[in-house]
Structure 1
Amino acid sequence: MNLKNSLHVEVAQKRESRLCKDRIKDLVHSHLANYVCLTPGASITGPELEENIELQEHVHSITFCDVDHHTEVSATAVDLIYHVYKLDTFGVETDTMTDASTGEEFAAADVWSLPAQDFHGLWENLVYDTKLKEDTVRFVETALDFADRGVDPHIVSCNRVVLLHGPPGTGKTSLCRALAQKLAIRLGDRFPRARLVEINAHGLFSKWFAESGKLVARLFERVVEIVSDRRLLAVVLVDEVESLAAARRAAIAGLEPSDSIRAVNALLTQLDRLRRFPNVLVLTTSNVTGAIDVAFVDRADLKRLVGPPSARAAYQVLSGCCSELMARGVITQRERVFSLCVLESARFAESAGSRASVRLWGLAQEAAARGLSGRALRRLPVLATLQGRGMKAPDLLIFIEWLYAALHQYLEDATQLDDEHNQRPPPVVVTNGH
């Protein structure tokens, strides 16, 4: 009996490479035989592949990724599961539709072929304290396994619908895209093709006029065309799904034409229709939890809050930013950024080597206490450069002081913006032409 745990190894094969996947796996496996330990989340790229000429010629990167391992593991203590893939470089295709009542053409959905170059590395750079990423992967694997085994959905209900909710800037949409990319790689042997169909519910509702219900049906007819290929994995992302609730409530209150509620009902009906296809996953996001339609919430199997980063997550984000800037020569690399577990083992004691890291931990705590979003955290390094006034390649400690100044300026600007907003008179609402 094999008692070893598994470790997934994702291998990005170069587009121009013509080697078969099995040969790529053999090359990578031989190369990894030289490693004593493997670090989940780490990647082998560029210079690290130079010692193996054939590998460098055909492989772009090797990434160790698994939901069950968070610390370094012995290379002989795990079974390596290889996933070889090529990145699609053609980018997004916009699917347009025409409103029959007005003749106006509008963007209905963005369609990505997966795995996409645009999303490469996105999964690894998303940082959460909870097991959010792990749970979403396991949910999808379980849901697809149920479908494969023919589990009767009337007995065990599974809609394969995920709802991520929380304030703006917390990475909900990015996580959905990264999850779609991850699944396209992990399930590549089962689904040789994968598509991400990204629908902006808010944008669509702004275009729904007299033909609203028909427009929804037409949009999902195109989705059904895609998912009819059972060898293709389709991930449908509905952003800002709270727009459904707003339209439904407004229609019930008489503030919108009854056609709006028909559009909402049509969308819910089409989502139910997708349940028949075992190769479909529906991901949704909402910035306003309290506004989500009850009928939709009931359809979501997995509902997770995505909140602002804690101090621990903020430190990981900021340390990752600093490491990237040192690697690119923006910051002079004179000292390393220690991981949080190293700082904790030393009880955050300051030394010549750890001073910058301890100072960065203080910044992460302050940012978390002030509720900065992940998006705002990743913007701080750019704003920090404004503090240098033309100074090039500062050392890490100086750059962290710039980050402190950028944080305080960001908070001051946000306060002023809120004050200005609160002083404005409320807008005049005109409904039904009155």
Structure 2
Amino acid sequence: MDEAAGDLKQALPIVCDNVQIHVEVHQKSNSTAKKEDIRMSVLKLLNRHNIVFGDYKWTEFDDGFLNSNVQSVSVVDTELKLKERQPIDLSKSSLSLHIFHLNEEGPSSENLEEENEDIVAANHWVLPAGPPGTGKTSLCKALAQKLTIRLSHRYRYGQLIEINSHSLFSKWFSESGKLVTKMFQKIQELIDDKDALVFVLIDEVESLTAARSAFQAGTEPSDAIRVVNAVLTQIDQIKRYPNVVILTTSNITEKIDMAFVDRADIKQYIGPPSAAAIFRIYLSCLEELMKCQIIYPRQQLLTLRELEMIGFIENNVSRLSLVLKEISRRSEGLSGRVLRKLPFLAHALYIQSPSVTMTTFLQALSLVVDKQFEERKKLANCI
């Protein structure tokens, strides 16, 4: 990898500088080091390794203080800054460092008591709180995570409340409106803390909005429409606060009530992962398998950006990276949830040994991708 990077510097002498670069520093949970001390050590690290080729993450350091106190240092979102793929000189860039701890306690449940029974109405995270995944819900959680880190100079911490839409329809229909009010009263208490950035996530919002349509058609009890109207009223009340972001997801866009759509400032369709996104998903899975020594010996792969820059260099690293790129292209159309399972299936179905080389594993991954599409085709023919 170092030899390839050296060849690249000679082939591409023009280095991009004078851009704003965000650097996210994950401080270890057991670290009590001052942020300013971590900041100074990270700046020294970036000064020593000042040329990057797009997004990059350090998890091992040539500095004892960083090894003891920092989990990772990540240069992020460079693709938003540069239209052309160029090396970046960090020493000549404007650096914004975001130092954060992750909350490792996991979510707590927001329970509403009704008729001697607890109803789980929402899950509650203190942010930042761990790595995001890939679906619509995970994207919303990742957005909350990112904003909490980026706005840490303004808000001391973040709160994420994931509302369980189905639980709002209590079996005691006449009480459902009261349950909504109780839940939003708890959310209001969080909003009143001006040091907190509060995210309210309503997952699968179509389960609420469909009730309005069903009521108009005469197939839904009147209490169901009261629940939906209560949610809309509560949303209107809390959205005026500057420290609140409301997020919703839906799998059935045609079922979303226009009363919800009209309240949205940004509407974004999320399709299946692109080939580039699939490549990154596979790359992260392979990294985990190498850490566990399931893939051994450890073999560094290039990112897509590095591959485009030095793909002409003939070596084993670029060859394996090109193989992964081709597998990613053939995987288009699969969901993120399925893609995460494929490396596990590749090992389970096609590998008979505890550890395997990267070359052999990629062959197995290619086979399991083909198998996935064959099974989908057979299933479609049976319907």
Give how far 1:351 is off: 7.3
Change (3 A) 1:353 1:195: closer
Give how far 1:313 is off: 2.5
Alignment correspondent of 2:196: 232
RMSD (Å) for aligned C-alpha atoms: 2.6
Query: Alignment partner for residue 77 of structure 2, among 41, 66, 71?
Result: 66
Q: How many residues align?
A: 363
Q: Distance in 2 between matches of 1:349 and 1:29?
A: 32
Contact 1:387 1:405 in 2 (8 A): no
Q: Distance in 2 between matches of 1:89 and 1:319?
A: 25
Change (3 A) 1:416 1:214: farther
Q: Distance in 1 between matches of 2:337 and 2:150?
A: 27
Alignment correspondent of 1:284: 248
Indicate whether 1:94 and 2:105 are aligned.
Answer: no
Contact 1:113 1:195 in 2 (8 A): yes
Change (3 A) 1:253 1:43: same
Contact 2:202 2:248 in 1 (8 A): yes
Alignment correspondent of 2:63: 52
Alignment correspondent of 2:278: 314
Q: Distance in 2 between matches of 1:285 and 1:308?
A: 15
Give how far 1:390 is off: 2.5
* Larger relative contact order (CA 8 Å, sep ≥ 6): 1
Alignment correspondent of 2:9: none
Gapped runs of 5+ residues in structure 2?
1-16
The aligned amino acid for 1:107 is: V
Indicate whether 1:10 and 2:10 are aligned.
Answer: no
The aligned amino acid for 1:21 is: K
The aligned amino acid for 2:275 is: A
Change (3 A) 1:330 1:69: farther
Alignment correspondent of 1:429: none
Q: Distance in 1 between matches of 2:109 and 2:222?
A: 29
Q: Distance in 1 between matches of 2:265 and 2:56?
A: 31
Query: Alignment partner for residue 57 of structure 2, among 43, 48, 64?
Result: 43
After TM superposition, the score normalised by the length of structure 1 is 0.76
What percent of counterpart residues are identical? 41
User: 3-state DSSP class of the match of 2:75?
Assistant: strand
The aligned amino acid for 2:75 is: F
Change (3 A) 1:342 1:208: farther
Change (3 A) 1:264 1:378: same
After TM superposition, the score normalised by the length of structure 2 is 0.86
Change (3 A) 1:30 1:315: closer
Contact 1:12 1:85 in 2 (8 A): yes
User: 3-state DSSP class of the match of 1:363?
Assistant: helix
Change (3 A) 1:311 1:27: closer
Query: Alignment partner for residue 20 of structure 1, among 16, 30, 34?
Result: 34
The aligned amino acid for 2:282 is: L
Give how far 1:411 is off: 3.2
Change (3 A) 1:351 1:75: closer
Change (3 A) 1:241 1:90: same
Alignment correspondent of 2:343: 381
Q: Distance in 1 between matches of 2:299 and 2:345?
A: 22
Query: Alignment partner for residue 398 of structure 1, among 360, 364, 370?
Result: 360
Shifted more, 382-391 versus 241-250: the winner is 382-391
User: 3-state DSSP class of the match of 2:125?
Assistant: strand
Alpha-carbon deviations, 1:253-310, whole Å to 9, x = none? 1212111011101101111111221100011111111111111001001111110122
Indicate whether 1:205 and 2:169 are aligned.
Answer: yes
Shifted more, 355-364 versus 339-348: the winner is 339-348
Q: Distance in 1 between matches of 2:187 and 2:136?
A: 22
Alpha-carbon deviations, 1:123-151, whole Å to 9, x = none? xx75xxxxxxxxxxxxxxxxxxxxxxxxx
The aligned amino acid for 1:93 is: S
Contact 1:309 1:372 in 2 (8 A): yes
